[in-house]
Amino acid sequence: MNSILIIDDEPSIRTILAEILEDEGYSVHLAGDGFEGLHILKTTKVELVLLDIWLPRMGGIDVLKEIKNEFSEIEVIVISGHANVDLAVNAIKIGAFDFLEKPLDMDRVINLTRNALKLEELKQENKNLKSQLMLEDRMIGTTEEMDKVNQIIEQSASSDSRVMITGENGTGKELVARKIHLKSNRKNKPFIEVNCAAIPDNLIESELFGHEKGAFTGASAIRKGKFEAADGGTLFLDEVADMSLSAQAKVLRAVQEMQFERVGGEKSIHVDVRILTATNKNIPEEIEKGNFREDLFFRLNVIPIQLPSLKERVEDLPELISYFMEKFKKEGTERKTISKGGMKILFKYSWPGNIRELKNFLERINIMCDEQIISEESVTTYLGEKINSNENPGLNEYKNLKLNEAKDKFERELLVYYLKENGYNISKTAQVLGIYPSNLHSKIKKFDIVIKK
Ligand SMILES: Nc1ncnc2c1ncn2[C@@H]1O[C@H](COP(=O)(O)OP(=O)(O)OP(=O)(O)O)[C@@H](O)[C@H]1O
Ligand SMILES: [Mg+2]
């Protein structure tokens, strides 16, 4: 039931409004002047105030200001006599929802009341959604590593400097990028994310910079790119190391000059965009291999943030677990916990998928497992495949690589090992490996192996 406060010095008006509104199903409180009214607001939950503008002692406008200051979420409808409509208009400027003129038209009283309460409800909903989002955006972790990360976030957020976030899969790179944006002066402007790995090479330029009509087959209309969409705000280039070299060249110019042309266009477009990037690749290595432009790296990596893996900050596990358990608990139920034995396993586990893996594991266990305190057995079961696949620890090094990359990495390691074993004697090593010396020579060149004599 919505609750309404009527502040009016005329008893007859108080009575008649109270009757109508109670008939409509609202609970009504009454006050004869502003002081009394404000006192009621301090002690009672009220969603709407009907406020006479012409009051003894403290004038209606002052009461309104006080309400908007102290209880900003409460809506106020002002009641004015014909003689002081000016005051009522002024009241709306200060934040009143609308005004009623005396003599009161009862239909209008009811309609305005409904509308004002509707607005109040929407505002409340909005507020709840926002706080939920905030909850989703929390960054958990109190270890030294995370303190450092949080410190850099705080320091860099308000400047426009470019930040490059690195870290393994699922360590929270995107979360950090969003956090930086939310803490920056650009927080009310767009946050636009581009996953560079997910866009085919031939489309990435048009995705980033847009295209003119007819720029290529299929470009049937002008399209704005992400740089334009992010104007005034933040552009987050995720998986930035996966961008083609030609796209990198264009990005470099856009970053340097804050201007670019749409694909197939000649007009220069100026924007004001803050650039954040993330990658799980080792960019210096990519530069070495010729896959990433060094000049672009220096432009983007003004402030580096390196996220620790979960294994490196395993002390944060308990806090992370209660945070996610709280999130995943069914409505009205108590939050599940993990037994001591279960925790021991989780502490020992390697967490190759980091926080994302932890989150998925906990979600699974919340749905699948009936126990309130999750036993050691259940933890083993639901972590199951993961633990087993970890029995081949040698595999860990190759896990995040493409087959070709893994093969190359393995081949290089094997060659280095046998070369060393055989005192860097080429023909002997070739024999052990079962290949021709010429073949070994070319591999040594390919893999850039240093021969120590
Ligand atoms: N410190 C943290 N506290 C709470 N939740 C976190 C934290 N770090 C990451 N998460 C959550 O873990 C999940 C993975 O994080 P995110 O997507 O930011 O990782 P990522 O590094 O971008 O991963 P990928 O490399 O796979 O893109 C998200 O659901 C995120 O909200
Ligand atoms: Mg990510």
Q: What is the DSSP string of 100-138?
A: EESSP-HHHHHHHHHHHHHHHHHHHHHHHHHHHHHHHT-
Query: Looking at the predicted structure, is the pLDDT value of residue 87 above 70?
Result: yes
The strand pairing partners of 215, in sequence order, are none
Ligand lying nearest the CA atom of residue 355: 1
Q: Ligand 1: does its nearest atom lie under 6 Å from the Cβ of 171?
A: yes
The rounded distance, in Å, linking the Cα atoms of 263 and 213 is: 9
What is the per-residue pLDDT for 213?
85
Q: Taking the domains of the chain in order of start, what are their residue ranges? A: 3-133, 157-306, 311-394, 401-446
Q: What is the mean pLDDT of the chain?
A: 89
CATH of region 311-394: 1.10.8.60
Ligand 2 centroid, distance to 383 Cα (angstroms): 23
What is the per-residue pLDDT for 150?
94
Query: Looking at the predicted structure, is the pLDDT value of residue 42 above 80?
Result: yes
User: Is 67 within 8 Å of 96 (Cβ atoms)?
Assistant: no
Domains 3-133 and 311-394 share a fold: no
Ligand 2 centroid, distance to 243 Cα (angstroms): 15
The rounded distance, in Å, linking the Cα atoms of 435 and 449 is: 17
Task: Give Cβ neighbours of residue 65 (< 8 Å, ≥ 6 apart).
Answer: 94
Give the fold, CATH level 3, of 157-306.
Rossmann fold (3.40.50)
The rounded distance, in Å, linking the Cα atoms of 52 and 59 is: 9
Q: H or E stretch including 374?
A: strand 373-374
The rounded distance, in Å, linking the Cα atoms of 234 and 328 is: 30
Cα of first residue to Cα of last residue in the chain, in angstroms, is 89
Q: What does DSSP say about strands 274-279 and 163-166: parallel, antiparallel, or unpaired? A: parallel
Query: Looking at the predicted structure, is the pLDDT value of residue 391 above 70?
Result: no
Nearest to 95 by CA among 71, 124, 128: 71
Q: Which of 105-114, 159-168, 193-202, 405-414 has the lowest mean pLDDT?
A: 193-202
Ligand lying nearest the CA atom of residue 323: 1
Q: What is the pLDDT of residues 144-154, one digit of tens each?
A: 999 999 999 99
What is the per-residue pLDDT for 131?
56
Nearest to 274 by CA among 142, 132, 398, 163: 163
What is the per-residue pLDDT for 271?
94
Residue of 171, 282, 312, 358 to test ligand 1 pocket, by largest number of atoms within 8 Å of CB: 171
The percentage of the chain sitting over the pLDDT mark of 90, rounded to a whole number, equals: 64
401-446 is a CATH 3.40.50.740 domain: no
Q: What angle do CA 197, 202, 204 make, to 5 degrees?
A: 50
> Stretch 369-379: mean pLDDT, rounded?
92
Task: Give Cβ neighbours of residue 324 (< 8 Å, ≥ 6 apart).
Answer: 358, 359, 362, 363
CB burial of residue 431 (10 Å; 0-12, 13-18, 19+):
middle
The strand pairing partners of 165, in sequence order, are 278, 305
CATH of region 3-133: 3.40.50.2300
Q: Which atom of ligand 1 is nearest to the CA of 136?
A: 31
Q: What is the pLDDT of residues 224-240, one digit of tens each?
A: 899 999 999 999 999 99
Q: In this structure, which residue's CA is closest to atom 29 in ligand 1?
A: 356
Compute CA distances 8 → 64, 100, 312, 391, whole Å.
13, 13, 65, 78
Q: Which atom of ligand 1 is nearest to the CA of 278?
A: 22
Q: What sections of 99-242 are H helices per DSSP?
A: 106-136, 144-157, 173-183, 201-209, 226-229
Q: Ligand 1: does its nearest atom lie under 6 Å from the Cβ of 359?
A: yes
Residue 340: CB atoms within 10 Å: 9
Left (φ > 0), alpha (ψ -120 to 50) or beta: where does 349 sit?
A: beta
The rounded distance, in Å, linking the Cα atoms of 173 and 157 is: 15
Q: Ligand 1: does its nearest atom lie under 6 Å from the Cβ of 277?
A: no
User: Is 163 within 8 Å of 299 (Cβ atoms)?
Assistant: no
The percentage of the chain sitting over the pLDDT mark of 70, rounded to a whole number, equals: 95
Phi then psi for 22, rounded to 5 degrees? -65, -40
What is the per-residue pLDDT for 121?
85
Query: Looking at the predicted structure, is the pLDDT value of residue 373 above 60?
Result: yes
